[in-house]
Amino acid sequence: MFTADGRWPKADEDLDPYPVWVAEVMLQQTQLQVVLPYWRRWMEVFPNLEALAEATEQQVLLLWQGLGYYSRARRLHASSRLLLSELQHKKTAVNDPTQFRHWPLAAETWMALPGIGRSTAAGILSSAFNSPLAILDGNVRRVLARVYAHPEPPMRAQSQFWAWSEELIDEVPGLSRALNQALMDLGATVCTPRNPACEVCPWDQRCAAYASGSAQQYPVKEAPRETPFQVIGVGVVVNEAGEVLIDQRLNEGLLGGLWEFPGGKQEPGELIAETISRELREELAIEVSVEQELIKLDHAYSHKKLRFEVHLCSWLSGDPQPLASQQVRWVKPSELADYPFPAANTRIIAALLEHFR
Note whether 251 and 208 are same-domain residues.
Answer: no
Mean pLDDT of 309-321: 95
Note whether 188 and 271 are same-domain residues.
Answer: no
Largest CA distance in the chain: 72
Q: What is the pLDDT of residue 15?
A: 83
| 189-229: pLDDT as tens digits | 999 999 999 999 999 999 999 999 989 999 999 888 888 99
Q: At residue 330, does pLDDT exceed 50?
A: yes
Q: Which residues are catalytic?
A: 24
4 part of a folded domain: no
Q: Which of 178, 195, 217 is the last residue of a domain?
A: 217
Note whether 193 and 255 are same-domain residues.
Answer: no
Smallest Cα–Cα separation from 51: which of 76, 86, 14? 76
Rounded to the nearest integer, the mean pLDDT of the chain is 90
CATH of the domain at 94: 1.10.340.30
Are residues 273 and 294 in contact, defined by beta-carbon separation less than 8 angstroms? no
Are residues 65 and 340 in contact, defined by beta-carbon separation less than 8 angstroms? yes
7 part of a folded domain: no
Identify how many contiguous H helices and E strands the chain contains and give both numbers.
13, 7
pLDDT class of 42 with cuts at 50, 70, 90: very high
Neighbours of 1 (CB within 10 A): 18
Across 80-94, 155-169, 285-299, least confident range:
80-94
CATH of the domain at 332: 3.90.79.10
330 part of a folded domain: yes
Q: What is the pLDDT of residue 5?
A: 46
In eight-state DSSP terms, residue 242 is S
52 part of a folded domain: yes
Are residues 288 and 237 in contact, defined by beta-carbon separation less than 8 angstroms? yes
Q: Are strands 305-317 and 327-331 parallel, antiparallel or unpaired?
A: unpaired
Q: At residue 97, does pLDDT exceed 70?
A: no
Write the single-letter amino acid at 101: R
Instruction: Print the domain residue range for 57.
Output: 17-217
**∠ CA 4-62-46 to the nearest 5 degrees?**
25
User: Residue 256 in 3-state DSSP?
Assistant: coil
Are residues 201 and 190 in contact, defined by beta-carbon separation less than 8 angstroms? yes
